[in-house]
Amino acid sequence: MAKIGNFSEVENKKMDVDGAKGASIRWLITPEDGAPNFAMRLITIEPGGQSPAHSHNFEHEMFVLEGEATVVSDGLETKVHEGSFIFIKPGEFHTVKNTGTKVCTFLCMVPNYSIK
């Protein structure tokens, strides 16, 4: 059976890791839902906030739903906004910084094996 829901029904957890500021995450689809390959997350970053700067051995894909931000990937800064998509290759050191005046919200997909 398909999982169909509304993001507002999913717990919004503060990103409680070093380097994260004003960022939260909702795990929309996970292996617990029967998803064999990928997890879908909804990430929100407040103005002036950021995701932790990090790298990992897996790719992920992002799609900006609202707001604007600067993606820093391997030292290069790129402005993104509503409608932008981002592909982070395995091993790239990266972070997302909300450089706008409104909340930045984006979908982020990662392989299930990356979930701890």
pLDDT of residue 33: 93
How many CA atoms, within 13 angstroms, populate the side-chain half-sphere of residue 30?
Answer: 11
**CATH node for 11-114:** 2.60.120.10
- 114/22 Cα distance (integer angstroms): 23
User: How much is the pLDDT for 1?
Assistant: 83
Residue 116 confidence (pLDDT):
61
Segments in the chain below pLDDT 50: none
- In whole angstroms, what is the distance from residue 35 CA to residue 65 CA? 23
CA count, 13 A, side-chain hemisphere, 88: 28
